[in-house]
Amino acid sequence: MFITLARVSRLLFVGMFVVAFGVSSVHAMGDLGIVVETLTDPGKEMYCPVCGRAINPGVVHTDAPVIIREKLKTALTERNIGYSDGMKQDQPYIHVLVYRFQERKGGNFAVDKPASVAFHMHLMKNRMVGKIFAYSEEQKALTQNLLTVGKFFSRGARWVTAEELAGEGINAGLDELVEPKETTEPAE
């Protein structure tokens, strides 16, 4: 009962923060910090220590933070959004909590176990959550779910790596969390 009340209180507080402070406009050079952390306790359901949402941690590959950080930097650069490592006072930052990052076992066209990636992206300022994006993906065989046929073919009709799944998740998260930087085209 107490855990539920604490969780509801936290969610209400986050909601009020978003309404009051709105951390949605992020698009100037050098104005977005990057923080990547991992959480591992495979098989034990728990709550995200940042946003309070339920998560089910799994195995996290030792290179996961480096891979996620590089994917995030690349995606921000492609969007013309500046970044810096870490967080600074009064600077918005993206906090990524990786709680599952398992590489596939097998090759491009046959696997014993597919890749699986799960993380939360939190758009934050002064340790306060502004927006949340949750990503959890394990590639399924086409025969297991025909509804994913479009995704299957967009991935090249093959089994993808955990790094590729992470890239998909990072891009989807940034699409939801940040506004694209307006570019000015020269007048003709």
Q: What is the dihedral of CA 50, 52, 56, 60, to 10 degrees?
A: 0
**185 domain-assigned:** no
* For residue 14, pLDDT beyond 90: no
* Domain total of the chain: 1
Let me know if residue 120 belongs to a domain. yes
188 within a domain of the structure (yes/no): no
Phi, psi of 28 (to 5 degrees): -100, 150
Share of the chain above pLDDT 90, in %: 46
For 155-185, what is each residue's pLDDT tens digit? 555 678 899 999 999 999 999 998 765 555 5
Q: pLDDT value at position 152?
A: 59
Answer whether residue 182 is part of any domain.
no
Domain membership of residue 186 (yes or no) is no
Expressed as residue numbers, the domain containing 96 is: 2-177
Distance of CA 82 to the CA centre of its chain: 18
Is residue 79 in a domain?
Answer: yes
**Is residue 67 a part of any domain in this protein?**
yes
Mean pLDDT of 26-55: 81
Q: Is residue 183 part of a domain?
A: no
pLDDT tens sequence across 106-130: 655 555 678 899 999 999 988 899 9
